[in-house]
Amino acid sequence: MRKPIIAGNWKMNKTAAEAEALIAELKPLVAKSKPDVVICVPYTDLWAAKAAIAGSKIRLGAENVAWADSGAFTGEISAAMLKEIGVEYVIIGHSERRTYFGETDETVNKRLKQALANGLKPIVCVGETLVEREKNKTKRILKKQVLDGFKDVTDFSDIVIAYEPVWAIGTGKTATAEDANKTIGYIRSLVKKTWGAEVAKSLRIQYGGSMKPSNAKELMAMKNIDGGLIGGAALKAQDFAAIVNYKD
């Protein structure tokens, strides 16, 4: 009943001209795909990407959003600015934002509420580091990220969670499909306990971390995994399309 959603996270890659070229190559390759397809691109690519995806099923996403409406927040981009371009999705709390730019569960929560208030669909990232995993702290970390990150949120209908074990991002190391399924099952049980069975049943939870054409099918076959957040493999049209079309 949950429709799969495959989202690309381009990170700080591709100029606007390069974005146009990648999208032109991608469009025909995903024309018949069954999952929802999203590309989250750098702010400077958004206008060009919006024009380039016209007439396709590809949806547009940004990689972050400010928590305030407007004002003295140098370097930030507001939800209204994104909405005006036609942005639908926004990544919030990616581990790179948490590691390099001081994002916390509290800032994630503020950005999340701002996204929801403005009709943007958030893709909220959670996940443990290698040290946390080795110390057996995965559940504790995820619990804090989910409970604090989603504090005061009641409507989950537009929300997607991306479970991204930090040790698997950009490293070539993937969590085994069973492991990812189990951990995402834990996140789902946490959501069920806090927000109820209906929310838990309909909430889409992606796996992210070195997902690629060769492992997408196995990961997507797991009952708790509803999609993927794709970094490196989203930068090549053929690879991203192969993940989107994992069923074929």
Enumerate the active-site residues. Answer: 94, 164
Phi-psi category of 86—alpha, beta or left, where left has phi over 0 and alpha has psi -120 to 50? left
- Please, which residue, 146 or 233, has the CB nearer to ligand PGA? 233
- What are the E-state strand segments in the chain? 5-9, 36-40, 58-62, 89-92, 121-126, 160-163, 204-208, 227-230
Which residues touch 210 (CB under 8 Å, ≥6 apart)?
168, 169, 170, 171, 172, 173, 174, 232
Going by their DSSP bridges, the two strands 89-92 and 36-40 should be labelled as unpaired
Q: Does 229 bind ligand PGA (CB under 6 A)?
A: yes
Q: Does 243 bind ligand PGA (CB under 6 A)?
A: no
- Please, which residue, 177 or 195, has the CB nearer to ligand PGA? 177
Gyration radius of the chain's alpha carbons? 17
Q: Does 103 bind ligand PGA (CB under 6 A)?
A: no
For residue 20, give the H/E element and its range: helix 16-29
Number of residues that bind ligand PGA (CB under 6 A): 13
Beta bridge partners of 6: 37, 228
- Please, which residue, 208 or 227, has the CB nearer to ligand PGA? 208
Q: Does 77 bind ligand PGA (CB under 6 A)?
A: no
Q: Which of 216, 230, 241, 244 binds ligand PGA (CB under 6 A)?
A: 230
Q: How far is the CB of 213 from ligand PGA (least distance, A)?
A: 12
Inter-residue contact 205 to 198 (CB < 8 Å):
no
- Please, which residue, 164 or 226, has the CB nearer to ligand PGA? 164
Q: Which of 5, 114, 232, 242 binds ligand PGA (CB under 6 A)?
A: 232
Q: Does 169 bind ligand PGA (CB under 6 A)?
A: yes
- Please, which residue, 169 or 190, has the CB nearer to ligand PGA? 169
- What are the E-state strand segments in 107-230? 121-126, 160-163, 204-208, 227-230
Site residues for ligand PGA, 187-226, by CB under 6 A, read 208-211
Q: How far is the CB of 184 from ligand PGA (least distance, A)?
A: 15
Mark 4-23 with x for binding to ligand PGA (rule: CB under 6 A) and - for no binding: -----x--------------
Distance of CA 33 to the CA centre of its chain: 18
What is the binding site for ligand PGA (CB under 6 A)? Answer: 9, 164, 169-170, 208-211, 229-233
